[in-house]
C-alpha cells in the first residue's frame, strides 16, 4: 500500500516487488495522484504486478488499473463497481467480523483485515492480534489479507491463519520483503 508520509517513492518500491504482487495506490491528498497512478500502472503492466486504486473508480479506469480498493464505509459500492467493470478485482478495508460480512454481501472479491498488530499508520487502533485475526479470517466468506504492523518478525505468526496474503507499507518502504512463508 502506498502512503505519502511513509513511502517516499512508490515507483521505486513497485520495482522491488516480486511478480504477482499487488499495489494499492492510496496517496489520497497527493495533487499528483493521477500522474502517480499512471506511472504505477505502466510499471505494473511491465512487471506483472496488480494495481488497485483506493477510493477512486474513475481514476482506476482512466489508468487501466486492475481494480479498486474501497474503504470500509464504502463497501456497499463493491457490487456496482464489480458489475460495471467485470474484470476488476474489488477489495475493501475491514476491521471486524461485521465489516467482513458486509463486504461479502456487497460483492467484494477480498478484504484487507486490520490492524493485525500495532501500527504506526493507526497508533490508537486496537490490534486484533494473530489469534483473533485467524478466527475472523477462517469465518469470512471472502479471501482475507492481513494488514497492519506486519513485519519480517511477526509475519510467520499468520502462516496458519487462513489468510491468502499480507499487505503493508513498512515492509516495502524499508526495502525488506515480508513473507508469511
Is residue 179 domain-resident? no
**Mean pLDDT estimate for the chain:** 92
Is residue 4 domain-resident? no
Is residue 1 domain-resident? no
Q: Taking Cα atoms as reference points, which of 98, 147, 152 lies closest to residue 122? A: 147
CATH of the domain at 147: 3.20.20.70
Q: How many structural domains are present in the chain? A: 1
Is residue 152 domain-resident? yes
pLDDT at residue 172, rounded to an integer = 54
C-alpha to C-alpha distance for 131 and 116, rounded to whole angstroms: 9
Would you say residue 81 has pLDDT above 80? yes
Mean of pLDDT values over 139-156: 93
Q: Give the H/E segment covering residue 144.
A: strand 144-147
Which residues are CB-contacts of 158 (< 8 A; sequence separation ≥ 6)?
Answer: 116, 130, 133, 134, 146, 150, 166, 180
**What's the pLDDT tens digit per position in 90-128?**
999 999 999 999 999 999 999 999 999 998 888 888 999
Would you say residue 5 has pLDDT above 90? no
- 147's torsion region: left (phi>0), alpha (psi -120 to 50) or beta? beta
- Domain of residue 15: give its range: 10-173
- Is the C-alpha dihedral spanning 176, 111, 156, 18 positive or negative? negative
Is residue 3 domain-resident? no
Q: Taking Cα atoms as reference points, which of 161, 139, 65, 98 lies closest to residue 147? A: 161
Q: Are 167 and 175 in contact (CB under 8 A)?
A: no
The C-alpha angle with vertex 2 and arms to 31 and 70, in degrees rounded to 5, equals 85
Question: Residue 155's CB: how many other CB atoms inside 10 A?
Answer: 19
Q: How confident is the model at residue 3 (pLDDT cuts 50, 70, 90)?
A: confident
The 3-state DSSP class for residue 31 equals coil
Mean of pLDDT values over 49-54: 98
Is residue 166 domain-resident? yes
Is residue 135 domain-resident? yes
Amino acid at each position: 500500500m502506498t502512503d505519502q508520509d511513509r513511502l517516499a517513492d512508490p515507483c521505486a518500491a513497485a520495482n522491488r516487488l516480486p511478480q504477482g504482487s499487488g499495489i494499492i495506490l492510496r496517496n489520497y491528498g497527493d495533487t499528483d495522484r493521477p500522474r502517480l497512478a499512471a506511472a504505477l500502472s505502466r510499471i505494473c503492466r511491465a512487471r506483472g504486478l496488480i494495481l488497485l486504486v483506493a477510493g477512486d473508480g474513475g481514476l482506476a479506469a482512466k489508468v487501466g488499473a486492475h481494480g479498486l480498493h474501497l474503504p470500509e464505509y464504502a463497501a456497499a459500492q463493491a457490487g456496482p463497481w464489480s458489475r460495471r467493470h467485470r474484470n476488476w478485482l474489488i477489495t475493501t478495508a475491514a476491521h471486524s467480523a461485521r465489516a467482513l460480512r458486509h463486504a461479502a454481501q456487497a460483492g467484494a472479491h477480498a478484504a484487507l483485515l486490520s490492524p493485525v498488530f500495532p501500527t504506526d499508520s493507526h497508533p490508537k487502533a486496537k490490534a486484533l492480534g494473530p489469534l483473533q485475526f485467524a478466527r475472523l479470517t477462517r469465518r469470512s466468506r471472502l479471501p482475507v489479507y492481513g494488514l497492519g504492523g506486519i513485519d519480517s518478525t511477526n509475519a510467520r505468526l499468520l502462516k496458519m491463519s487462513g489468510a491468502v496474503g499480507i499487505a503493508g507499507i513498512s515492509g516495502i518502504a524499508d526495502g525488506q520483503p515480508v513473507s508469511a512463508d
